[in-house]
Amino acid sequence: MIGQLTGKPHIDISDNAIIDVQGVGYEVRITPSTKSQLSQTNQCQLFIHTHVRDDAIELYGFLTKKELELFKLLIGVSGIGPKTGIKIVDFGVAGITNAVVNADVSFFSQIPKVGKKSAQKIIIELKSKLGSLEELDLTADNTETNDMIQTLMSMGFSRQDVVSTFKRIPENLQTIEEKIRFALKEMGR
Query: What's the pTM?
Result: 0.68
Residues with pLDDT less than 70, the chain:
13, 131-146, 159, 189
Do 108 and 160 belong to one domain? no
**Domain of 30: which CATH number?**
2.40.50.140
* Strand pairing class (57-62; 24-29): parallel
Number of domains in the chain: 3
**Domain of 77: which CATH number?**
1.10.150.20
pLDDT at 167: 72
Do 16 and 51 belong to one domain? yes
What secondary structure does DSSP assign to 78-97, as a single string? TT--HHHHHHHHTT-HHHHH
DSSP reduced 3-state for 30: coil
Do 58 and 71 belong to one domain? no
Provide the residue type at 71 as one letter.
F
Contacts of 58 by beta carbon, 8 Å cutoff, 6+ apart: 29, 50, 51, 82
Do 149 and 165 belong to one domain? yes
Residues in the chain: 189
Per the structure, the complete domain to which residue 52 belongs is given by 4-62
Span 1-27, pLDDT tens digits:
899 999 999 887 688 899 999 999 999
